[in-house]
Structure 1
Amino acid sequence: MRWIFFIFAGWMEIVGVVAVKKFAETNSKIYLLGIIVQFALSFWLLSLAMRGISMGVAYAVWTGIGAAGGVLVGIVLFKESKNASKLFFVSLILVSSIGLKLIS
C-alpha cells in the first residue's frame, strides 16, 4: 500500500507543476488553488508512504518522479524542446530512482 501512496504522491507532484506552469501563464487564482491542493496532497501521500519507506529513498525517488515527470509533461503538453541531452538526463533520473528502489 505504501508504494501506491508513493506513486500517487509523485503524480500529485507532477500535476502541481503543471498548475504552476498554468498559473505563470495566466495568473488565474484557480491555478493557485490547484497548486496548493496538489502539493498538499503530494506531501500528505508522501508522509503516508514514508511510514514504510526510508526517508532518504522516499525523498530521492519522489523528487525524481516530480523532476522527470515535469520534464516529460513539458515536452508532451507544452511543446518544450526534446533534445537528446534532455532525454538522456531524464532517463538517468528515472534509472537512478528505480535503482534506489531496488536496493532498498
Structure 2
Amino acid sequence: MAWISLILAGMFETFGVIMINRFHKDPKWQSIFLLILGFGASFIFLAYSMETLPMGTAYAIWTGIGASGGAILGMILYDESKDWRRLVFIGMVLSAAIGLKLVS
C-alpha cells in the first residue's frame, strides 16, 4: 500500500505543478484552491508512504514522478519541446525511480 500511496503522491505533485502554471496564466481563486489541494494531497500521501518506506527512497521517487510528470504534461498540454534528448533524460529519471523500487 505504501508504494501505491507514493505513486499517488507523485501524481498529485504533478497536478500541483500544472496548477502553478495555470495560476500564472489565469490567476483565479479556483486555480489557487486546486494548487493547494494538489500539493496538500501530495504531502499527505507522501507522509503515509514514508511510514513504511525509507525517506531517501520515497523522496527520490516522489520528486522523480513529479519532475517527469510535469515535463511530460508540459509537452502535451503546453506544447513544450519534445526533443528526443528530453525524452531520453525523462526516461532516465523514471528508470532510476524503478531501480530504487527494485532494490528497496
TM-score scaled by length of structure 2: 0.96
Whole-Å Cα distance in 2 between the matches of residues 7 and 57 of structure 1? Answer: 12
Identical counterparts, % of pairs: 41
**1:18 is matched with which residue?**
18
Structure 2 spans left out of the alignment, 5+ residues? none
Deviations 1:23-78 (A, max 9, x none): 01111221111111110110010000111110000000000000000000011111
TM-score scaled by length of structure 1: 0.96
Moved segments of 4+, more than 4 Å: none
Whole-Å Cα distance in 1 between the matches of residues 4 and 61 of structure 2? Answer: 13
- Where does 1:18-57 land on structure 2 (aligned, <5 Å)? 18-57=18-57
Structure 1 spans left out of the alignment, 5+ residues? none
Aligned-pair CA distance for 1:3: 1.2
RMSD between superposed Cα atoms in Å: 0.8
**1:62 is matched with which residue?**
62
